[in-house]
C-alpha cells in the first residue's frame, strides 16, 4: 500500500523532478517507509512506500523487470500473487523479490493488458513500457484504490490523491460546478470520471487506459458484472449457503496475507462480526502469522444508546476472546478535526458518519498496519433498507403480486419505523433542495428494479464513494484497509444469486444470514436494524456544533457563494434548532461544501497533512 505520482511529457520535454518530489511529499502519509523515483526521457515516476509484503529493499518501487524496459509504480495488494508467481515462474520468469508488485511487472510481460483479468485484489498502478514508449494505467474492479489524473501543457500527470496534483500551479484552480451541484442536491459523488475540481479526473473502477506520445487514450472497461434479475432459481438453499461460506472464508484467508500485523474493524453488524469470527477460526486452523495468537478489533462507541452498538460488539468480543479496542468520538473532537478531515478527503463528504471510521483508523494505527473491513456486503446483498422498495417495485412490475404482498408484509413487520421516517425525510429533503440556487438533473439512486439499483450502487452511486472515504481515512494514518467482501470470486457469485437470496419476506442479506448460522451470535445474525459506523450527527448539529455552524452560515464568504441562498439556509437551520422542522443531511452538506471551498480555493488551512496518532 503506497502513494504513486507521475508525469509523462508526451510533448517531448522532460519531467520535472522537483515537481514529482513536491507531489510525493504531499501524500507522504500514504507511504512513510521509503521513497523512490525513476526518470528517463519523457517519463517520471515516484513512489512512497508502506511496506506490507516483502519488507526488504528488494520490494522498493519504482520496480522494474530484468532488463529495465518496464517500470512500475503501484498502490494496492494482489491477494493471489503467490499463485500467479508460481504460474509465471513455470513460464520462465525470474523474480528478484517476494512482493506482489513484481508479479504485476511479469504478468504484463506475459499477458499484456489482459493481465488485469487474472488479478484478485485492489490496485491503482502506472506501468511504463519503454520499448513502446507508452504508460499503462489501471484501477481495480471496484475502485478500492484511487487514481487521479489531468492533462496540461503537453503532460499527463497522475497521483493517488487530488492534493498531489494541486502542486502544479495551473491545476485544480476552480471547482467543477456541475459535480459540486450534484453533491449538494443529491448527495452523490465519485459517480463519474469527473471530480469536484475542474479538469481533474479519476480513472473509473474496472477501467484502464494507455498514454502514448500522442496523448491520453480513452479509458476502456476491462471487467463488468451482471446482477441476476430473476427472483428465484432451482438452486437449493443449502448449496448456496455452502458455496457462499466457502468463498467468503477463502476470501478472508487470502486477505490475511501480509508480513505485518493485521487487525479488524468491528462495528457490531453482521458483516464485520462475520469477518472477526472467520479470522478467529482461521487462527485455530491455519495460524496466520499476520494475526498472531489473538485477533485485534477496533470499534467506535457512543454514550447515546441510539447510536451505540456496544451490546453487539461485546457479544462478538466475548465469543472470540479478541483483544478489543474502542474509541468514542465526541463533538469537541469533531470541531478539532473537521478541517483536517476535509483536507484528507480532498472533496466534501456526505455526512459525519465517516468521522467514526476516521477515529477507528486512528486507533488501529497504534497497534497494526493493516485492517480488514466489511465494505461492499450491503451493495452485494441488498443490506440497506431502502432497497426493499426497489424489490417490491420490481415484483409488482413483473406481476409477481403474491410475492410482492409477502415482501410488503415482511417489510412493514421488520422495518415499519424506517419507512415512516423515510417518507418524512423525502418531504423535508425536497424542501431543502430549494435552498440551492443551482440547477441539477434529477438523480434518483433508487430508481429501477432491485438488480438495476444494486448494480448502480456497486459500481457507480454508493460503493465508490464509501471506498473513497475508507482509503483516505485509513491512509491518513498509514493504515492499509482491506475489504474481503469485494474478492472478485465472491462478488461474481453473489451477483449471480436470484433476488430472493438477498431479500426474502423483508429479511435483508438472506443468503449470508443462512450461511453464517452458528458462526456469529444469533442476536447479531438476526438483527434487522442497520447502523454501521454512524455518528449522532443530528444531535451534534443541534447542540455542540451549533455555534460553529452559525459562524459559517453568517460569514461573508458564505453569503457570496453562488450555490445557495445564504439567508434561506440560515433560516432553515434556525427552524431546525427551534424544533420547527426535522434535520436532513442537506444542512451538513452545505456546511461541508463551504469549508471545502475555503480550504482548497480560498486557501485557508492548507498545511500538509499532520494527524495525531
Catalytic residues: 2
How far is C-alpha 397 from the geometric centre of its chain's CA atoms?
33
Q: Is 236 exposed, middle or buried, given 0-12, 13-18 or 19+ CB atoms closer than 10 A?
A: exposed
The Cα 235–Cα 498 span in angstroms is 9
3-class SS of residue 85: helix
Q: What are phi and psi of 296, to 5 degrees?
A: -105, 130
Three cell numbers written together for 383: 443490506
How far is C-alpha 453 from the geometric centre of its chain's CA atoms?
18
DSSP labels for 154-179? TEEEEESSHHHHTTSTTSS-SB-HHH
Three cell numbers written together for 296: 485485534
- Under DSSP, the state recorded for 596 is H
The Cα 328–Cα 355 span in angstroms is 11
Q: What are phi and psi of 212, to 5 degrees?
A: -120, -175
Task: Please name every residue paired with 202 in a beta bridge, in sequence order, or none if there are none.
Answer: 148
The Cα 456–Cα 462 span in angstroms is 8
Preceding peptide of 62 cis, ω within 30°: yes
Sequence-distant (≥ 6) Cβ neighbours of residue 401 within 8 angstroms? 395
Sequence-distant (≥ 6) Cβ neighbours of residue 330 within 8 angstroms? none
- What is the β-pairing status of strands 2-9 and 155-159? antiparallel
The Cα 393–Cα 508 span in angstroms is 16
How far is C-alpha 544 from the geometric centre of its chain's CA atoms?
29
The Cα 373–Cα 506 span in angstroms is 26
The Cα 482–Cα 374 span in angstroms is 9
Cβ count within 10 A of residue 545: 21
Sequence-distant (≥ 6) Cβ neighbours of residue 269 within 8 angstroms? 309, 312, 374, 524, 527, 530, 531, 532
- Under DSSP, the state recorded for 197 is B
Cβ count within 10 A of residue 17: 13
- What is the β-pairing status of strands 480-482 and 370-372? parallel
Orientation of helix 488-496 relative to helix 237-255, angle to 10°: 160
- What is the β-pairing status of strands 43-49 and 63-64? unpaired
Which one, of 29, 19, 24, 31, lies nearest residue 5 by Cα? 24
Three cell numbers written together for 511: 443468503
Amino acid at each position: 500500500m503506497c502513494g504513486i505520482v507521475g508525469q509523462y511529457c508526451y510533448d517531448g520535454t522532460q519531467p520535472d523532478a522537483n515537481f514529482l518530489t513536491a507531489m510525493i511529499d504531499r501524500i507522504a502519509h500514504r507511504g512513510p517507509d521509503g521513497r523512490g523515483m525513476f526518470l528517463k526521457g519523457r517519463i517520471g515516476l515516484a513512489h512512497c512506500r508502506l511496506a506490507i509484503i516483502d519488507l526488504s529493499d528488494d520490494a522498493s518501487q519504482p520496480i522494474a523487470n530484468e532488463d529495465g524496459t518496464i517500470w512500475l509504480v503501484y498502490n494496492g495488494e494482489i491477494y493471489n500473487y503467490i499463485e500467479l508467481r508460481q504460474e509465471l515462474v513455470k513460464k520462465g520468469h525470474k523474480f528478484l523479490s517476494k512482493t506482489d508488485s513484481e508479479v504485476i511487472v511479469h504478468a504484463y510481460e506475459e499477458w499484456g493488458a489482459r493481465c488485469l483479468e487474472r488479478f484478485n485484489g485492489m490496485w491503482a498502478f502506472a506501468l511504463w513500457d519503454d520499448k513502446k514508449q507508452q504508460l499503462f494505467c489501471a484501477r481495480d474492479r471496484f475502485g478500492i484504490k484511487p487514481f487521479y489524473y489531468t492533462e496540461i501543457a503537453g503532460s499527463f500527470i497522475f497521483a493517488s490523491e487530488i492534493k498531489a496534483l494541486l502542486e502544479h500551479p495551473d491545476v485544480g484552480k476552480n471547482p467543477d460546478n456541475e459535480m459540486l451541484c450534484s453533491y449538494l442536491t443529491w448527495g452523490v459523488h465519485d459517480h463519474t470520471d469527473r471530480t469536484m475540481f475542474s479538469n481533474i479526473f479519476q480513472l473509473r473502477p474496472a477501467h484502464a487506459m494507455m498514454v502514448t506520445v500522442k496523448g491520453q487514450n480513452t479509458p476502456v472497461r476491462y471487467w463488468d458484472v451482471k446482477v441476476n434479475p430473476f427472483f428465484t432459481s432451482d438452486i437449493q438453499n443449502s448449496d448456496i449457503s455452502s458455496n457462499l461460506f466457502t468463498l467468503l472464508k477463502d476470501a478472508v484467508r487470502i486477505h490475511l496475507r501480509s508480513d505485518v500485523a493485521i487487525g479488524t474493524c468491528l462495528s457490531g453488524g453482521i458483516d464485520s462480526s462475520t469477518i472477526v469470527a472467520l479470522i478467529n477460526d482461521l487462527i485455530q486452523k491455519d495460524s496466520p502469522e499476520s494475526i498472531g495468537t489473538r485477533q485485534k478489533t477496533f470499534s467506535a462507541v457512543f454514550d447515546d444508546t441510539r447510536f451505540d452498538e456496544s451490546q453487539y460488539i461485546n457479544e462478538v468480543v466475548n465469543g472470540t476472546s479478541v483483544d478489543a479496542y474502542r474509541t468514542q468520538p465526541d463533538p469537541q473532537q469533531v470541531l478539532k478535526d473537521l478541517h483536517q478531515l476535509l483536507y484528507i478527503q480532498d472533496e466534501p463528504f456526505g455526512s459525519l458518519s465517516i468521522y467514526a471510521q476516521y477515529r477507528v483508523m486512528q486507533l488501529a494505527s497504534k497497534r497494526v498496519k493493516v485492517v480488514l473491513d466489511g465494505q461492499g456486503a450491503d451493495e452485494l446483498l441488498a443490506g440497506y433498507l431502502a432497497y426493499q422498495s426497489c424489490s417490491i417495485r420490481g415484483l409488482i412490475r413483473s406481476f409477481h403480486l403474491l410475492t410482492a404482498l409477502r415482501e410488503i408484509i415482511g417489510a412493514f413487520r421488520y422495518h415499519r419505523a424506517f419507512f415512516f421516517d423515510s417518507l418524512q425525510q423525502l418531504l423535508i429533503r425536497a424542501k431543502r433542495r430549494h435552498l440551492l440556487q443551482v440547477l441539477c438533473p434529477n438523480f434518483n439512486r433508487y430508481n429501477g428494479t432491485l438488480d438495476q439499483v444494486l448494480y448502480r450502487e456497486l459500481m457507480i452511486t454508493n460503493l465508490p464513494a464509501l471506498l473513497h472515504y475508507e482509503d483516505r481515512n485509513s491512509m491518513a494514518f498509514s493504515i492499509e484497509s482491506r475489504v474481503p467482501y469485494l474478492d472478485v470470486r465472491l462478488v461474481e457469485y453473489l451477483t449471480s444469486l436470484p433476488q430472493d437470496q438477498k431479500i426474502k419476506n423483508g429479511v435483508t442479506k438472506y443468503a449470508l444470514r443462512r450461511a453464517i448460522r452458528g458462526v456469529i451470535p444469533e442476536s447479531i445474525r438476526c438483527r434487522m436494524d442497520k447502523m454501521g459506523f454512524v455518528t449522532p450527527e443530528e444531535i451534534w448539529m443541534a447542540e455542540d456544533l451549533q455555534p460553529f455552524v452559525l459562524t459559517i452560515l453568517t460569514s461573508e464568504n458564505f453569503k457570496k457563494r453562488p450555490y445557495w441562498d445564504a439567508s434561506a439556509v440560515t433560516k432553515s437551520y434556525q427552524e431546525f434548532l427551534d424544533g420547527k422542522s426535522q434535520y436532513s443531511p442537506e444542512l451538513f452538506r452545505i456546511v461541508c461544501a463551504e469549508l471545502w471551498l475555503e480550504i482548497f480555493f480560498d486557501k485557508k488551512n492548507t498545511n500538509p497533512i499532520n494527524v495525531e496518532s
